[in-house]
Chains A and B, each alone.
Chain A
Amino acid sequence: MQVFIAQVINGLSLGSIYVLLVTGFNLLLLVAMIIHFSYPQVVVFSMYIVWVVLRATGNNLVLAILAGVVSSVAINLISAPLFQKVMKKRGEVDINSTMVLSMGIGMIITDVLSHTFNQGLPIAFPDALASDAPIVRFGLISVLTGQVWSLAVGIAAVSAFFLLLYRTRPGRAFRAIAEDPNGARLVGIPLLRTGLYSYALSGVLGGIIAILLAMLLGSASPGLGEQVAHKVLAVSIIAGLGNLAGGLVVGLFLGILEAIVQGYISGTWSDAIAFVIMLAVILVKPKGLFGTKL
């Protein structure tokens, strides 16, 4: 029972990160109307920037966090015109071509990481950011700093995001575009500017996720982005593309499922089992459990 509880705690913190990732992904999908498949690769790139700044500044956390957020926002804003151009060239929004473009960006990011940083070897974050000292220990159950932070910040960030979406003017603009882009344009909502806000906002979320992932995992590798990207797209599809509430439920569920499987089954098989379950759901319900919002 203790193992189960420990793994549920693990799963909740991991799940909160999936929820954040899916939220950022869905924001871009609904407002900018792109499938930013390599969004997690952008997050992993930010993790590397955090690592570089920590090393360069003697573990200055504030600067590292700032650099992580700025780099994520910068990549998102730099890639925004590329996505806009692809959509413009096709004459109408072609969501599949944005996914292929995003995969191209992901290929570049992953390979640049494996060539440029730490000779392609995985990086380890210093204790200043990713301490594995438990805050609370009870039998087999131990709660780590990274777990508490990722859960707390995850809940706070998702709450803030939903508040922004449902209680503010820009949030209404986001939802209006998601609901009906032409109608939104008719009532005077600037599509391009609001779209850019969504790139920036998902960039901020990406930076926060990078810090939380660094705290939770304590390390990163160039291939991490690809693996997370597939999970995020899978969660998003299972939940129903663009379904924010569905993403929240499925993201948390996947985190807990993965942690529980890891608790009872050898490491190499655990990922595969999570993927088999995801695959089964996608094969049976390719349009998602909660309905797509596109």
Chain B
Amino acid sequence: MPLPLYYFLAITAVNVLMAWALYLPYRVGHLHFITVANMAISGYSAAWLVMSLHVPFGWALLAGFALGGIVGYIVSLFIGDAPTFAVVIVGFTFIYITRTVIENLKAVGGTMGMFGLPNIAGDPVAHRWIILAILYGLLLLVGFLIHRFDHSQLGRAASAVFVDKDLAASLGVDIRRLGMQLQTFSCTIAGGCGVLYGFIYKSFHLDFFTFALVGIAMTIIFVGGYATMWGSLILAPILYGVPLLFPPAIQSWRIVIYGALLVLVLVLKPEGFITRRFVYSLESFLSGTRKKRNTL
């Protein structure tokens, strides 16, 4: 497989997973940017386990997921039902703190980062195939779980919380518990993504985990459509792939293009391109039924 195609497929999968990690807590109105910090924490920890303690990659990956989940759970104890802006600033603050700690930790290479991570299989080609298999397996699993969640009682409760917290609470929704569950799951995904992200490049550097990454995930979810999981799935390859077709001079303005796209979509089409109504219509069309459904 050509290297550019490998990177395109791998980074697209990571972007979709990261956008879904943002999508889930946003179902209850939480913009949970701590996911980027979690990527870094889990990624560096797994790399350290592999490089220094010679732990097999599989176990390091599992540790990355677990660490992400644990950090997410602990933080969610405090901000499970916090207002959106408080969740946002907790996320940003966490990113700053994580970056500073990593910058000062010699065990993980400090500002230089970690290079020369081993292939997880015998040779580079096998390494790439295994990374892709894990990523797309994870994509299918997470996608399935989110789809089930969206169509479950919990998903409907999340929609109610998004629209009106007070109403949802009066209907018996435990807002804090739901927020905690979604934040923990989101951080677990982010933890695993962080490990895989570094092993795609076989290195870890702080430049991987900047606010630009937050911007990319945010653009994917808001331009694609924050009300369904499908927007992220469709937009992630387009957003990452289309700029690659442009000359390098234009490619370097990628973040400006993302920002402009985000602003335009928020102004002109606030729910994003793939809306819930559109998905319901499509589902009805495909299943041949035309029954009216309530949309939130």
> Residues of A at under 8 Å CB distance from B?
35, 37, 82, 85-86, 89-90, 95-97, 99-101, 103-108, 110-112, 115, 226-227, 230, 233-234, 237, 241, 268-269, 271-272, 275-276, 278-279, 282-284, 286-287
B222 touches A286 (CB 8 A): no
Give CA–CA (A234, B90) in the complex, Å. 8
* CB–CB B262/A107 < 8 A: yes
Residues on A with C-beta less than 8 A from B140 are: none
A-B contact pairs, 21 of them (CB 8 A): A89-B267, A89-B270, A95-B84, A96-B29, A96-B84, A97-B270, A99-B84, A99-B85, A101-B266, A101-B267, A104-B260, A111-B259, A230-B89, A230-B96, A233-B88, A241-B85, A269-B100, A279-B90, A282-B93, A286-B78, A287-B86
Main secondary structure of the interface of A (DSSP, over half): helix
Q: Mark B61-96, 1 if CB is under 8 A from A, else 0.
A: 000000000000001001100111110111011101
Rounded to whole angstroms, the CA-CA distance of A96 and B262 in the bound complex is 14
B90 partner residues in chain A, CB cutoff 8 A: 279, 282-283, 286
Q: Which residues of B contact A101 (CB under 8 A)?
A: 262-263, 266-267
Distance in angstroms between the alpha carbons of A269 and B100 in the assembled complex: 7
Contact A105-B86, Cβ < 8 Å, known A89-B270, A111-B253, A283-B75: no
Residues on B close to A: CB < 8 A? Answer: 29, 31, 75, 78-79, 82-86, 88-90, 92-94, 96-97, 100-101, 103-104, 211, 215, 218-219, 222, 252-253, 255-256, 258-260, 262-263, 266-267, 270
Cβ–Cβ contact A86 & B86, under 8 A: no
A99 to chain B, nearest CB (A): 6
Cross-chain contact A286 with B83 (CB below 8 angstroms): yes
Q: How far is the CA of A99 from the CA of B83 in the complex (A)?
A: 13
Given A100-B222, A108-B259: A279 touches B97 (CB 8 Å cut-off): yes
Bound CA–CA A263/B281 (angstroms): 62
Q: Do residues B258 and A286 form an inter-chain contact, with CB atoms below 8 A?
A: no
Q: Which residues of A contact B255 (CB under 8 A)?
A: 107-108, 110-111
- Report yes or no: A233 in contact with B89, Cβ–Cβ below 8 A: yes
B259 to A234, Cβ gap below 8 A?
Answer: no
List the A residue with the shortest CB-CB distance to B261: A104
**Interchain CA distance A149-B117 in the complex, whole Å:** 52
- On chain A, the residues within 8 Å of B75 by CB distance are 283
Q: B86, B94, B97, B222 — which one has the most chain A CB atoms within 10 A of its CB?
A: B86
Beyond A99-B84, A286-B79, A287-B86, whether A104 also contacts B93 by CB under 8 A is: no
Nearest Cβ distance between residue A176 and chain B, in whole angstroms?
24
Chain A residues closer than 8 Å to B93, beta-carbon distance: 230, 234, 275, 278-279, 282
Number of CB contacts from chain A to chain B under 8 A: 121
Which chain A residues lie closer than 8 Å to B266 at the CB level? Answer: 86, 97, 100-101, 104
Query: What is the chain B residue whose CB lies nearest that of A107?
Result: B259
- Contact residues in A for B84 (Cβ distance below 8 Å): 95-96, 99
B252 and A104 within 8 A (CB): no
* Complexed CA–CA distance, A290 and B200 (Å): 47
Whether the pair A96, B31 counts as a contact (CB closer than 8 A) is yes
Q: Are B211 and A99 in contact (CB under 8 A)?
A: no
> Given that A96-B29, A282-B86 are known contacts, is A107 also in contact with B258, CB under 8 Å in the complex?
yes
Min distance, Cβ A35 to any Cβ of chain B, angstroms: 6
* CB–CB A103/B86 < 8 A: no
**A112 to B96 alpha-carbon distance, docked (Å):** 22
Min CB gap B47→A, angstroms: 21
16 additional contacts, CB 8 Å, given A85-B267, A99-B31? A90-B270, A100-B31, A100-B222, A104-B218, A107-B262, A115-B253, A115-B256, A233-B85, A237-B85, A268-B103, A268-B104, A271-B100, A275-B97, A279-B90, A279-B97, A282-B86
Given contacts A101-B263, A283-B79, are A272 and B89 in contact (CB under 8 A)? no
Residues of A within 8 A of B253 (CB): 111, 115
A179 to B228, CA, bound (A): 35
Q: Are A284 and B96 in contact (CB under 8 A)?
A: no
Distance of A110 Cα from B97 Cα, bound (Å): 21
In the complex, what's the smallest C-beta–C-beta distance from B183 to chain A, in angstroms? 13
Q: Tell me which residues across on chain A come within 8 A of B215, comparing CB atoms.
A: 103, 107
CB distance from A137 to the nearest CB of B (A): 32
| A111 contacts across to B, CB distance below 8 A | 253, 255-256, 259
Q: Does the CB pair B267–A86 fall under 8 Å?
A: yes
Chain A, Cβ-Cβ closest to B75: A283
**Once the chains bind, are A226 and B211 in contact (CB under 8 Å)?**
yes
Name A105's contact: one of B29, B83, B259 (CB within 8 Å): B259
A286 cross-chain contacts in B, Cβ below 8 A? 78-79, 82-83, 86, 90
